Amino acid sequence: MGRERAVEFYGDYHTHTNYSDAKQGLIDIVEAARNRGLKEVAITDHGPLAAVIGVSNPNSYLKLKEEINLINEEYDDIKVLLGAEANIRNIEGDLDIPPYIIKELDILIAGLHPYTLPTSIKAGVKIFLQNSLRHLGKGCYEKAVKNNTQAVIAAMKNNPSLDILAHPGLFFKLDIAEVAQVAVKERVLFEINCGHEYPKISDIMEADKYGINFIVNSDAHLSSTVGDFSYAKRIIKKLNLDEARIVNSSARGGYKTWVKN
* Count of residues engaged in binding Zn ion, rule: CB under 5 A: 4
Nearer to Zn ion, 106 or 219 (CB): 219
- Minimum gap (Å) between residue 165 Cβ and Zn ion: 10
Long-range contacts of 65-73 (CB under 8 A, 24+ apart): 65/104, 67/26, 68/26, 68/43, 71/26, 71/27, 71/30
What residues contact residue 201 under an 8 Å CB cut-off, 6+ apart?
235, 238, 239
- Minimum gap (Å) between residue 35 Cβ and Zn ion: 21
- Minimum gap (Å) between residue 193 Cβ and Zn ion: 8
Binding mask 84-113 for Zn ion (x = CB under 5 A): -x-------------------------x--
Nearest to Zn ion by Cβ — which residue? 219
Nearer to Zn ion, 111 or 118 (CB): 111
**DSSP letter assigned to residue 136:** G
Task: Label residues 223-256 b or e (16+ Cβ within 10 Å = b).
Answer: bebbbbbebbbebbeeeebeeeebbbbbebebbe
Taking contact as CB under 5 A, which single stretch among the options 54-62, 79-87, 233-241, 246-254 is the one that binds Zn ion? 79-87
What residues contact residue 103 under an 8 Å CB cut-off, 6+ apart?
261
Nearer to Zn ion, 25 or 253 (CB): 25
Q: Does 219 bind Zn ion (CB under 5 A)?
A: yes
Nearer to Zn ion, 26 or 166 (CB): 166
Going by C-alpha positions, the residue among 76, 61, 57, 75 that lies closest to residue 16 is 61
- Minimum gap (Å) between residue 143 Cβ and Zn ion: 23
- Minimum gap (Å) between residue 24 Cβ and Zn ion: 13
Distance CA 98, CA 108 (A): 12
Nearer to Zn ion, 75 or 171 (CB): 171
What's the one-letter identity of residue 242?
Answer: D
Q: Which residues bind Zn ion (CB under 5 A)?
A: 85, 111, 166, 219
